Amino acid sequence: MALLRVALTGCHLPSTYCRLRLLLPRQMGTTTRQSSDTISRLRESGLLKTQGLIGGKWVDSYDGKTIKVENPATGELLANVPFMGKKETEDAISSAYSTFNSWSKLSASERGKRLRKWYELLLAHKDDLALLITLEQGKPLKEALGEVAYGASFIEFFAEEAKRVYCDIIPTTQNDRRLLVIKQPVGVVGAITPWNFPLGMIARKAGPALACGCTLVVKPSEYTPLTALAAAELALQAGIPPGALNVVLGNASEIGDALLESTQVRKITFTGSTAVGKKLMAGSANTVKKVSLELGGNAPCIVFDDADIDVAVKGTLAAKFRNSGQTCVCANRILVQEGIYDKFAKAFSESVQKLQVGNGLEEGVVQGPLINETAVEKVERLVKDATSKGANIVLGGKRHSLGMTFYEPTVIGNANNEMLVCREEIFGPVASLLRFKTEEEAISIANDTNAGLAAYLFTQSIPRSWRVSEALEYGLVGINEGLISTEVAPFGGVKQSGLGREGSKYGIDEYLEIKYVCFGNI
Ligand code: NAP
């Protein structure tokens, strides 16, 4: 893909390039920056930023290269943004490094006040931020508004948490000594984020990092830079000083390598695919950086015979179809006990059939497009593999008549753990139902994966809730609930779903170093 993009430098494609766009999700060029009609609906036009942010200054890429940002629902060009690389990243790192001293020396309460102001500005501009999210990412406007509230909640939480970075005094082993533990910010943080939550994933990192005194270089996904830039503009307005929060856009591997190679960057925090996460983890070894990774999932959703069927259908629907199935915690395998299988499959499919698909800006739409053609092709491949191995299509199973990157909300019956649809992260609106007999079998199927992010179970039995949630090898477990993420609880995976936690009182530890101080001869 990188080669194709380079080959397209400077080429101008006609506006009716739909099919080509689908094959090549983003094209590079050196075109003049322009914005679309829909984007002009922003209430505050100043939030449409189309340059990177380095040291508090909005800048183009040094060689003038740009990359298009497009609406996945329509193919409409939203903006051209800089396609940056090594040099810009190095300057952003220098800027973060030189700001670290002054930012980390501010009192925790002062940092907290500025974060609180950022939180207030994010909420004050929630409509504009949600519009940007829907336009560049595709999720329905109501969900986008939910993401703004979700992202802002992390800034608010860590604005408060800044004041609670408590240290310890350890009982001494020698009378003439006093032993202290202090916690200090790790330093410059490189934060790389995905497209599926363009604001939420940045807020989960920038909130705790800034709260404890770190500074950041953020690299958002090439698909969703506009939300990140608008949020950064609001951070500046809130008094987060120039250089504390830098945003670079463009060549992912070049930016990633510059962050990894720098000895000034002391921490890498990443949300995205497991494959890229592994590369970043390996690349961090050379300079021995602190690393936290929020990677892909393969969530089991277990519906037991004793479940309340309405609660199970509602919870599974939410866990599966939010963001058209494009979340790391989406139910990827729906395990249904044999006694309730037919009843659940019928009720669930009836609910799925009602999901309205379309452009996320339209009233009533609850399922937007997938992010690009590659995502649709992946879904097609998984569905084909499942049917070739004996699964049946209960509902959907093909591209939506709207075309573009729309796929029909789909239910597949009689799936099993050998099918790719159960082994890979689907990241699309496909629900695969697996039949099981016993609790032990369900746990065994659920744990038979390298992923370990979220799991769900539906049962009315308290003993079973305890037994199963303890046996599941996952970082998050939802019991009779399909949407469980909140700023006050730790979010993160085990096995190959990642390292570390975001949110909650534990989330700030990822950005702190522990220092032991010994007072002797007292
Ligand atoms: P991705 O392809 O791994 O990309 C994530 C970010 O990494 C993007 O900014 C991407 O840049 C960048 N990147 C790609 N190659 C890189 C490299 N060699 N060096 C440095 N950065 C690089 O993932 P995605 O498709 O955007 O996101 C979907 C994945 O994220 C899914 O697997 C999902 O499960 C996971 N996710 C996990 C969580 C969680 O909390 N565990 C939350 C949300 C999503 P470009 O986009 O510019 O290429």
User: 84 CB less than 6 Å from ligand 1?
Assistant: no
The residue whose CA is least distant from atom 17 of ligand 1 is: 253
Ligand 1 neighbour 144 (Cβ under 6 A) = no
The three-state secondary structure class of 240 is: coil
pLDDT at 24: 41
> Looking at residue 19, what is its pLDDT?
33
Mean pLDDT by 10 residues, the chain (522 residues): 30 31 44 62 96 98 98 96 98 98 98 98 98 98 98 98 97 97 98 98 98 98 98 98 98 98 98 98 98 98 98 98 98 98 98 98 98 98 98 98 96 98 98 98 98 98 98 98 98 98 98 98 96
Contact 79, 34 (CB under 8 A): yes
Q: What is the DSSP string of 138-150?
A: ---HHHHHHHHHH
DSSP strand E in 272-391: where? 290-294, 299-303, 331-337
DSSP state of 425: -
Structure tokens at 95: 């800027």
What is residue 2's predicted lDDT score, i.e. its pLDDT? 34
What residue type is assigned to position 239 of the chain?
G
Catalytic status, residue 328:
yes
Catalytic residue list contains 294: yes
Which pLDDT score, from 0 to 100, does residue 40 have? 86
β-pairing, 52-54 vs 57-59, is antiparallel
Structure tokens at 27: 């094209």
pLDDT at 22: 40
pLDDT for residue 404: 87
Task: Report the pLDDT value the prediction gives residue 36, as an integer from 0 to 100.
Answer: 64
pLDDT of amino acid 13: 30
State if pTM tops 0.85: yes
Q: What is the pLDDT of residue 21?
A: 36
CA-223 nearest atom, ligand 1: 46
Judge if the beta carbon of residue 500 lies within 6 A of ligand 1: no
Distant-in-sequence contacts of 144-147, Cβ < 8 A, 24+ apart:
144/360, 147/197, 147/198, 147/199, 147/200
How far, in Å, CA of 327 to CA of 294, rounded?
12
Q: Is 182 helix (H, G, I), strand (E, B) or coil?
A: strand
Atom of ligand 1 nearest to the CA of 249: 47
Q: How far is CA 337 from the centre of its chain?
A: 31
CA distances from 382 to 72, 209, 223, 388 (A): 21, 38, 23, 10
Residue 43 CA, ligand 1 centroid: distance in Å: 30
Q: Burial-class residue 3 by CB neighbours within 10 Å (0-12, 13-18, 19+).
A: exposed
Cα(326) to centroid(ligand 1), Å: 12
What residue's CA is closest to ligand 1, atom 10? 221
Q: Is 374 in the pocket of ligand 1 (CB under 6 A)?
A: no
Contact 499, 274 (CB under 8 A): no
Query: Is any atom of ligand 1 closer than 6 Å to the C-beta of 192?
Result: yes
DSSP-assigned letter for residue 200: H
From 136, 254, 294, 425, the catalytic residue: 294
